[in-house]
């Protein structure tokens, strides 16, 4: 067992202390040993959290590489990165024939270039959208089937199960439905790629924010580490003072008696 060396040189002098003081001395030694072990355990825990922080930085680098590859393959106008989410926009005329949900061959090559590079540190959502022309329920089902068509194609390329698809119909347009150009922008499928929360600590642009996050999330360990470092030191010096006080007191008594 790891332990801070106690004032063993004074152990014989402890026997001269009053019994209550001897109990305090022994209790302090036990307390000191306990918190020294807790301190070393806390250091190990901090090391593990630091490793997780490095892992988060690695995931961020993966996302940067994925953004670059997506922009090179699809063009910057079809790629968006906001709020730590990468969005790939595919217009319906590129993916499907009119009022159809079968995936065209000309877009499969782009998907094959991008999707296999998505790591298991991320999660993928495929979302279908339509314009507001036609029946609302029909548009909803069409958006869902188109999202499903894209999802079924990319699913074998993913190395993890954290992926999903759904349709939103005409409810979330990105442009006006009053003209054909706007409607063509609304008829789309989006592939959203973002960090898998279960595999990373935090996405942030500054190291200070990351460390603040670690402290907030692991406040108990931080407090425990501080206390376990201070308590053995305090008890160690308290025992020395206790023994020294006893020695001075006994010497004073001996002089008086003599």
Q: Could you tell me if residue 91 is inside a domain?
A: yes
Residues 68, 149, single domain; the answer is no
Alpha carbons 133 and 142: distance in angstroms, whole number: 12
Q: Could you tell me if residue 202 is inside a domain?
A: no
pLDDT tens for the chain, residues 1 to 258? 344 444 455 566 666 666 666 666 677 677 667 666 666 666 666 666 665 656 666 777 888 888 888 888 888 888 999 888 899 998 877 787 666 677 877 788 888 888 888 877 788 999 999 999 999 999 999 999 999 999 999 999 887 777 899 999 999 999 999 999 999 899 999 999 987 755 444 444 455 555 555 555 556 666 666 666 666 667 667 766 766 766 676 667 666 565
Domain range for 66: 18-73+218-251
Alpha helices, DSSP H only, in 75-135? 92-95, 108-114
Instruction: For the full predicted model, state whether its pTM sits above 0.75.
Output: no
Q: Could you tell me if residue 241 is inside a domain?
A: yes
Residues 65, 79, single domain; the answer is no
Alpha carbons 99 and 132: distance in angstroms, whole number: 13
């Amino acid at each position: 067992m790891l332990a801070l060396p106690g004032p063993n040189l004074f152990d014989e002098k402890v026997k001269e202390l009053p019994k209550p003081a001897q109990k305090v001395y022994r209790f302090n030694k036990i307390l000191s040993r306990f918190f020294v072990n807790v301190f070393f355990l806390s250091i190990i825990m901090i090391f593990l959290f630091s490793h997780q922080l490095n892992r988060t930085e690695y995931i961020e680098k993966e996302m940067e590489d994925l953004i670059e590859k997506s922009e090179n393959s699809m063009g910057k106008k079809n790629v968006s990165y906001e709020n730590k989410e990468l969005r790939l926009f595919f217009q319906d005329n590129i993916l499907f024939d009119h009022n159809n949900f079968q995936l065209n061959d000309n877009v499969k090559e782009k998907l094959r270039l991008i999707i296999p590079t998505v790591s298991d540190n991320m999660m993928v959502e495929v979302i279908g959208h339509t314009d507001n022309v036609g029946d609302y329920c029909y548009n909803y089902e069409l958006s869902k089937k188109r999202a499903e068509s894209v999802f079924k194609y990319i699913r074998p390329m993913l190395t993890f199960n954290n992926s999903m698809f759904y349709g939103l119909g005409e409810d979330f347009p990105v442009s006006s439905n009053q003209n054909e150009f706007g409607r063509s922008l609304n008829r789309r499928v989006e592939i959203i790629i973002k960090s898998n929360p279960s595999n990373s600590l935090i996405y942030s642009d500054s190291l200070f924010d990351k460390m603040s996050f670690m402290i907030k999330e692991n406040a108990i360990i931080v407090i425990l580490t501080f206390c376990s470092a201070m308590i053995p030191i305090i008890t160690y010096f308290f025992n020395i003072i206790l023994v020294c006080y006893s020695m001075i007191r006994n010497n004073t008594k001996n002089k008086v008696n003599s």
